[in-house]
Each structure stands twice: as C-alpha cells, then as structure tokens.
Structure 1
Amino acid sequence: MRRTSEETGKRGPSMSTGTAERTKQVVDRALSKVGEIATLPEVTIRIIEIVEDPKSTARDLHEVIKNDPALSVKVLKVVNSAFYGLPGQVASVDRAIILLGLSAVKNIAIAASIARLFKGKRVSEHFSASDLWRHSVGVAVAARAIAKCSPHPGMTDEIFVAGLIHDIGMLVARQAYPDEFAQAIEAHLANGGDYLACEREHIGADHQAFGVGLTTKWKFPRHLRAAVGFHHNPEVLSVEFQNMATLIQMADILCCQEQIGFYLTARHSALTPEMFERLGVTEAQIAEIRESLEEQVLDAESVLTT
C-alpha cells in the first residue's frame, strides 16, 4: 500500500517509483500470508464502524459490546483501572460510554483486542512478541502522558491506540518473512546504523510500510495510519498528521532509551528541540513522565494482558 500524497506534505529522501512498487509487492505478499494478524475480530470491526458512523448512538455501541462477554469484562476492567482514575466503580458498559464517550470506549475495545496478536515463537534471541508488546504498551502509556502535557487540543483520545499499534508492522514482517526479519535484527546489532535501513535491505520493506498496509486493511482512520507509517520520520507528513506521529516518535524514543521491551528501533535516536517545539512540551515534563514510566507500564500491562 502506498502512503498517500495527502498524508505526506514533503517527501524527505525520495523513493523511486521502482522502489515504491517493490515495497508494495513485498507488503502485499506479506499481508496475504499473515492470516490471523490481518483480521481483526468481527466485534472490533463492528465497533469501529459504529463510532465512525455519525448516525450511530451510544445504544448501538452498547449492544455490540454486551454481546461479547469477554470484551465487556475487559472494557470494564480498563475503565475501572487507575489508568482512567474515575471516581467509584463503573459496573456497566453503558455507564462507561456515558462517562467516557463513544470514541474513548471504542479505543478501549480496540486496545483490548490488540493484545492477542502479540504472540508466536521467538525468531531471534533478541526479539520476542512479548517484548514487542511490552514496548508497545510503554509507547502507548508514554504517548498518552505526553499528550496530556501538550497544549494541542484533541490529542489524547486515540493516542493510546496509536502507541499500541505503532510497531504492528513488525508482527507482519516476523510472521511473513521470519528468516529475513531475524537477519535484519542481527545486521543492526552487528553493524549499528539505521534499524529501518536494515529491514529494507533484508526484508524489502520496513515495519512502517508493513504497518500502513495492515492498518489500511483494517480500515483504521488516516491519522492512525499516518502515525504507524511515519513515527520515525513525521517531518515528511502534512501538518495535520504531524502532531500525533511526533507524539509517537517521542514516546518511542523515550521507551527505547529506558529499554522498555524491544528497544532496538530507536535506541540511537534522541529527543530533539524540534519535537519539543512541535508538541509544546518541556524537558521537565518529559523528565517527570520518565520517572514514573516503568511503574505505569506495569500497571497498564496487567490490565490489558489478562
């Protein structure tokens, strides 16, 4: 799947037509192989459709969630966790929808569905799906915390989901091309340099491209696809997509610096003045987030994984 010119305002290093076409072929082949990963649960797809439909009501969302008892339990567990900090216990999904809104409950349901994808055998001594899950939870937690500090409106609602799925393309690459995926990791560890370049050299596409392909297949909103597809280079995006992608970039770097889960992708990256300026956050705020990050990740993991 090509990342559209609507999303990219400026291109940075150019990708030739031939290279773009080869990347698309590699991604399309991978998506045809990955089976379970490429298919969201039917209930999650229905929830996304309901929330994206302006004619839908809270009752519509409640009806879908209540018919999946396991999902209902997990949604209420998340809502009642310290993560949301609501006063008193929320005993029903319809009450959760009233308190948090359609979009927030949609994102909780998506988050509850995502954990099941992070499984499978280890293809490298330096990578496991559980390590990637821990990193993804870390980025989700950090991104949400950063978004709360940012003066930009409307940035906290879907940022947690964006963090959870930002590296979802790695699961596609690992399942579709396990040997090449392992080679990319080993090459990066042996030679250093850019992790994404190692992926492109050994697999034929990087995890951002696989992630865009998968989230497009899932029919996720464009701003989520942009965050997944450009969290290592948000500067090439058009302005409307830059903030969320930069949030994920900053959270990703923070988690890699703290070695939370699988941390190789951005271990050599640094938080830059441009990131702070774009998001309107301070170094002191990031230092405070860093201080409590490990504990918050453990809390979020326990809620989402069980």
Structure 2
Amino acid sequence: METCATRETILQAIRDIPLLSPSAAQLLQLSAQDDYDIQEVIDIVKCDAALTARLLKIVNSVAYGLVHQVTSVDRAVSYLGERVVAGIALADSASALFDKELQGYEGPAGELWAHDLRTAIAAREIARYAKSPLSADLAFTAGILHAVGKAILSDFLKQTAPELLGSLDGHEIHDYLDGERRLLGIDHTEAGYLLAQAWELPEALQLAIRWHHQPAQAPAAFQPLVYAVHLGCLLAMMAGSQSADALQYHLDKGYSDYFDLSPEQIALTLLEVNEAFSTLQHALHESGDPIS
C-alpha cells in the first residue's frame, strides 16, 4: 500500500478544525465530572438561545409524545437528560464533522453521527453492568465522540476502502486501524485523540477516543470507560452501519473483567439500543436538527 498523504498534512487538517462552541465545551467538561449538578447544565443552556430553542423543539416533538408542551429549559433538560443535552450541543457545534459524507469509508452523510449515537446509547447501557461504579453519562458522552477521527481521515482515504478490505481478506493487515496507519501513518483513533486535545476535552474522553479499539492499552484507571465504549462501538456496528469498516475490528474479551454481561444481556442491550436510537433520531429529525 502506498501512502496517499503525509502525516503532517493530516496534523495540519486537525489544527484547522474550528473549536467547539462555549456551550458544547462546557457541557462536555461537566459530563466528565462525578459531582456536577443538573442546575449547572440548565444554566449553560439558558445562556445559549440557539441551544435552548433546539432542545425545546426536540422535547416537544411527536417522537416523545408528551401530553403537555414543555416550555422551560429546566423541564427540557430534566426530561432529555444531561447526556443527551451535551450530545445535541456537540452535534450542533460540530455538525460539519458529524454530518459529512465519509467517502474514505464509503459511508453516506450522517452515518458517523448515527454510529456515534448508537455507540453512546450502547455504552450508557453497558455502564449499568459495571462491576465498579462507572458514570453512564460519561460513557454516553465518550460514545458520542469516539469515532470523530473518521471525519478527519475520510478525506485522505478516498477510494482506498476496497484495497483495505482486500488486504484484510488476504490477512496482510491485522484490522482496519492497521490499514489506516500503513496508508497514512496515523489511524482514526489517534486523529480523534489529537482533535480532542486541541478541543481541550477532559482526559477521560481523550483516552476513550484514543483506545476504543485497543482498550487494553488504555491506562488502568480508565479501562472500564474505554471497554464500555469498545463494546458499545461493536454493538452499534451490529445494530446497523453503512461504512466499509463495519465489524472490521477485533473484540477484546477483556471487557468481562469490568462488566457482568451475559450473552442474553448483550442481546437485550442491542434491542434497547435500537429502540432508544429510533426515538431520539426521530425527535432530532422532527425538530429540524441538521444531524438527523
């Protein structure tokens, strides 16, 4: 395989990506804390008129079927939950990344957001089975962000998916990450990690992005979170993915060290992911959200 772009070109592309909106950045910072109060989330939303309008449209959509219209930020945040609010703020702030066509992965526009949302929901559900305390909110946020590096690498991987898949079939490469590194000198987990650093995201989110396909390499203190995202990502691919790299990564069975999950519970989680994804996706579509 021949390199089609220099690593430095890709690093410059990462540096050129705009910063997150203040609201999105603040909400992501909060999501990584164990002791934040929902009022802090409400206060951030109230200072952002566009985000306030977005949340009210979403919570009052037909998909949620509320009997009484929600007219206050307090009730909207309480109903949707802090994790969903942070995800919506992120999607709105970085829609150019999440909604773009992933030509390098043969994925249609919106596929990255759909996969990330499924992963977030799955990681949230998996966190409930943790053997030691693990924030479901943090797992959800990490899931939303975990594959953002694909939006960066896609532009440099155009027309290479058939070659990478052929190399996998011929056992020339270990997995899709290996192929990315051989072509570009960087894979999507590292690209996403560098973007997370540029965005000054909390360390837990940075590491979940960096190691979600290789969770055993994450620092020990962060492995429960990273394994939740790792397993959530694979479940999301099983639930539905239109990208060429779907299910082209290896499952690290080390997740059983951190989660009490039977095959039946994994199957049930997959059903819950599809149901929750459908509801939220319909709500976003009805609200006119660009990511839908």
Identify the TM-score tier after normalising by the shorter chain. 0.7 to 0.9
Corresponding residue for 1:120?
Answer: 100
Deviation at 1:139, TM superposition (A): 0.9
User: 2: distance between equivalents of 1:287 and 1:57?
Assistant: 33
Deviation at 1:211, TM superposition (A): 0.4
1:189 paired to 2:165: yes
| Amino acid corresponding to residue 185 of structure 2 in structure 1 | G
User: 1: distance between equivalents of 2:42 and 2:271?
Assistant: 37
Corresponding residue pairs, total: 276
The 8 Å contact of residues 129 and 171 in structure 1, kept in 2 or not, is answered as no
Unaligned runs of 5+ in 2: 1-5
Matched position secondary structure for 1:269: coil
Deviation at 1:57, TM superposition (A): 7.8
For 1:284-303, list aligned pairs within 5 A: 284-303=264-283
The 8 Å contact of residues 27 and 41 in structure 2, kept in 1 or not, is answered as yes
Per-residue Cα deviation, 1:139-188 (whole angstroms, up to 9, x for no partner) = 111111212233432320122221111110011122xxx2x312442322
**In the superposition, relative to structure 1, how do residues 87 and 279 fare at CA in structure 2: closer, same or farther (>3 Å)?**
farther
Matched position secondary structure for 1:158: helix
Corresponding residue for 1:255?
Answer: 236
Per-residue Cα deviation, 1:216-253 (whole angstroms, up to 9, x for no partner) = 11111100110000001110112211011101110111
**In the superposition, relative to structure 1, how do residues 107 and 84 fare at CA in structure 2: closer, same or farther (>3 Å)?**
farther
Root mean square deviation of aligned Cα: 3.7
| Amino acid corresponding to residue 286 of structure 1 in structure 2 | I
User: 1: distance between equivalents of 2:107 and 2:84?
Assistant: 32
**In the superposition, relative to structure 1, how do residues 277 and 199 fare at CA in structure 2: closer, same or farther (>3 Å)?**
same
| Amino acid corresponding to residue 266 of structure 2 in structure 1 | I
Per-residue Cα deviation, 1:49-98 (whole angstroms, up to 9, x for no partner) = 678899x9876654542343331133345667899999976532234567
Corresponding residue for 2:197?
Answer: 216
User: 2: distance between equivalents of 1:277 and 1:58?
Assistant: 32
The 8 Å contact of residues 132 and 261 in structure 1, kept in 2 or not, is answered as no
User: 2: distance between equivalents of 1:296 and 1:95?
Assistant: 20
User: 1: distance between equivalents of 2:147 and 2:186?
Assistant: 13
Identical-residue share of aligned pairs (%)? 27
1:139 paired to 2:149: no
Q: Stretches of 4+ moved more than 6 A in 1?
A: 49-54, 56-60, 80-89, 98-104
Give the counterpart of 2:24 among 41, 44, 50.
Answer: 44
The 8 Å contact of residues 148 and 156 in structure 1, kept in 2 or not, is answered as yes
User: 1: distance between equivalents of 2:28 and 2:238?
Assistant: 33
TM-score (norm 2): 0.77
Matched position secondary structure for 1:251: helix
The 8 Å contact of residues 148 and 192 in structure 2, kept in 1 or not, is answered as yes
User: 2: distance between equivalents of 1:224 and 1:291?
Assistant: 26
For 1:148-227, list aligned pairs within 5 A: 148-174=128-154, 178=155, 180-192=156-168, 193=173, 194-227=175-208
User: 2: distance between equivalents of 1:86 and 1:269?
Assistant: 41
TM-score (norm 1): 0.74
